[in-house]
């Protein structure tokens, strides 16, 4: 058991995690004297959204084009998150309808902390506003080095934050609070992204798993933020060569999510995974499912790229038709010099 997992167990034991209903329609379940709080801003670093198979004949360069593309378009991955939560002096009666639940915790003051929402917005929406909203200095420094594409410097800042949090948790009278815990979950996710784009998939797997576990405990298994960390975990496992584990994670996400966009990304990832396993027939079917969105957006177009790749690698010339459609779309969205676009052209001419 990892140290972080032990600390999460400690947090659950001390704070008595449980579920309750906030939408029962009853008027007297919560006393009116409660405090609603918005957390300080947190960085939410978006990971690799869709993955490609690269160039035919270069199977050892897994995720290369996707990582290079992420680095060059990194500013699109910078989001700011805020946690909104409510401190209440009591919970609902035991016979309340629990069809709609959120996770709560019993604090030292014998109150309850109810997570209301996590809001995420692109960084460009906060130009000049982060300091006024209470952003920590290390957050501002992290954003600065990321904009400079100093990924090693960004990793050092995230490491310092996690070490600081760990040292606080080890103090004798430390009592975890909701903002610290969710900020740690996001920091672990961010570290996973930075490790993955550096090609260190082993560490990326560890930190995405820790982040997903904490988010699931706090937010529930179907929350978008939980599923986001799980998706990045599946991609890191794929990059690390743990195909069975990646497959199981992708299937779990698919069973929990109702988002058609996320479903398309999962089918695309499954196509790449089954191709690497040598299950070419099912890989083609997965790529076809991933490209069936009504609007041919980026996710569906990447599925067309992989569908064309698989068909061409099997000697089927109809793969070039899919690559041609995808190349026209991707050149417009990503630019003609983008690595994914270059690989599509390479495969078309192979």
Strand partners, 273: none
Determine the Cα–Cα distance for residues 98 and 114; give it in Å rounded to an integer: 14
Nearest to 249 by CA among 261, 151, 260, 265: 265
pLDDT band at 111 (very low <50, low <70, confident <90, very high): low
Neighbours of 66 (CB within 10 A): 25
Dihedral sign computed on CA atoms, order 233, 238, 241, 246? positive
Which residues, 6+ apart, have CB-to-CB distance to 73 below 8 Å?
334
* pTM for this prediction: 0.86
- 340 lies in a domain? no
Query: What integer best gives the mean pLDDT of the chain?
Result: 84
Output the pLDDT for position 312.
96
- 126 lies in a domain? yes
Q: What is the pLDDT of residues 176-231, one digit of tens each?
A: 778 888 999 999 999 999 999 999 999 999 999 999 999 998 899 999 999 999 99
Q: What is the pLDDT of residues 24-82, one digit of tens each?
A: 333 344 444 567 888 889 999 999 989 999 999 887 789 999 999 999 999 999 999 99
| Helix or strand (DSSP H, E) at 104 | strand 101-106
- 89 lies in a domain? yes
- 209 lies in a domain? no
Q: Which CA distances in Å does 191 have to 130, 157, 202, 214?
A: 21, 10, 12, 15
Question: Which residue range(s) make up the domain with 106?
Answer: 3-198
Q: What is the pLDDT of residues 230-247, one digit of tens each?
A: 999 999 999 999 999 999
- 100 lies in a domain? yes
Output the pLDDT for position 103.
43
Domain count, the chain: 1
Output the pLDDT for position 1.
44
- 186 lies in a domain? yes
**Mean pLDDT, rounded, for 264-272:** 96
Contact 349, 322 (CB under 8 A): no
- 171 lies in a domain? yes
Output the pLDDT for position 30.
44
**Mean pLDDT, rounded, for 138-146:** 95
**Mean pLDDT, rounded, for 123-151:** 91
Radius of gyration of the chain (CA): 22
pLDDT band at 144 (very low <50, low <70, confident <90, very high): very high
pLDDT band at 110 (very low <50, low <70, confident <90, very high): low
- 83 lies in a domain? yes
pLDDT band at 101 (very low <50, low <70, confident <90, very high): very low
| Helix or strand (DSSP H, E) at 113 | strand 112-122
**Mean pLDDT, rounded, for 251-275:** 95
Q: What is the pLDDT of residues 280-308, one digit of tens each?
A: 999 999 999 998 865 558 889 999 999 99
């Amino acid at each position: 058991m990892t140290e972080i997992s032990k600390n999460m167990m400690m947090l659950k034991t001390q704070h008595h995690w449980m579920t309750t209903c906030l939408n029962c329609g009853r008027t007297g379940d919560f006393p009116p004297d409660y405090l609603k709080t918005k957390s300080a801003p947190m960085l939410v670093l978006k990971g690799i959204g869709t993955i490609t198979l690269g160039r035919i004949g270069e199977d050892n360069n897994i995720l290369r084009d996707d990582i290079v593309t992420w680095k060059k378009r990194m500013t699109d991955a910078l989001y700011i998150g805020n946690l909104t939560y409510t401190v209440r002096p009591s919970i609902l009666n035991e016979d309340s309808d629990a069809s709609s639940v959120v996770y709560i915790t019993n604090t030292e003051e014998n109150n309850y902390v109810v997570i209301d929402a996590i809001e995420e917005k692109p960084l460009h929406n906060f130009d000049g506003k982060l300091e006024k909203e209470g952003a920590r200095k290390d957050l501002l420094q992290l954003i600065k080095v990321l904009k400079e594409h100093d990924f090693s410097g960004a990793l050092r800042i995230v490491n310092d934050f996690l070490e600081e949090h760990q040292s606080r948790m080890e103090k004798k009278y430390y009592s975890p609070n909701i903002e610290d815990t969710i900020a740690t979950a996001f920091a672990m996710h961010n570290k996973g992204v930075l490790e993955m784009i550096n090609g260190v998939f082993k560490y990326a797997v560890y930190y995405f798993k820790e982040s997903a576990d904490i988010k699931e405990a706090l937010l529930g298994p179907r929350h978008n933020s939980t599923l986001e960390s799980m998706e990045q975990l599946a991609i890191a496992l794929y990059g690390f060569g743990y195909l069975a584990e990646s497959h199981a994670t992708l299937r779990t996400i698919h069973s929990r999510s109702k988002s058609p966009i996320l479903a398309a990304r999962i089918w695309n990832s499954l196509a790449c995974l089954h191709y690497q396993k040598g299950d070419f027939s099912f890989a083609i079917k997965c790529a076809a499912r991933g490209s069936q969105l009504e609007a041919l957006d980026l996710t569906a177009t990447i599925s067309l790229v992989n569908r064309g790749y698989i068909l061409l690698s099997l000697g089927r010339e109809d793969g070039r038709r899919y690559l041609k459609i995808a190349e026209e779309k991707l050149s417009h969205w990503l630019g003609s010099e983008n690595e994914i676009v270059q690989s599509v052209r390479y495969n078309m001419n192979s």
